[in-house]
Amino acid sequence: MSDLQLFESTKSTKKQDWQRKGCKEGEKRFMFIVKEDLVEKIYNVAYWIRLSKKEALEEALLQYISAHKEEANKERPEKK
């Protein structure tokens, strides 16, 4: 294994470790850039309906996916 392959392998492992740290089985950590007012609204909804922020965001994503079932189940084309 070359030094570059070893570096890429280590880099990939560290990224995977970060994405899984503190997650339950079947979960993965993601980071998004989102408008501040949308984040604040999700936090408000979570507070008032007594959900965690994670649960409120997950519910919103599930509703979005449910509204776009056909697209959600299509495979994406491979990147070139």
For residue range 18-68, list pLDDT tens digits in order: 677 778 888 888 888 999 999 999 999 999 999 999 999 999 999 999 999
Is residue 63 a contact partner of residue 52, using CB atoms and an 8 Å limit? no
Of 57 and 80, the one with more pLDDT: 57
Its pTM stands at 0.66
Question: What's the pLDDT score for residue 30?
Answer: 84
Question: What's the pLDDT score for residue 51?
Answer: 97
Radius of gyration of the chain (CA): 18
Question: What's the pLDDT score for residue 7?
Answer: 46
Is residue 29 a contact partner of residue 22, using CB atoms and an 8 Å limit? yes
* Token pair for 62: 């599930």
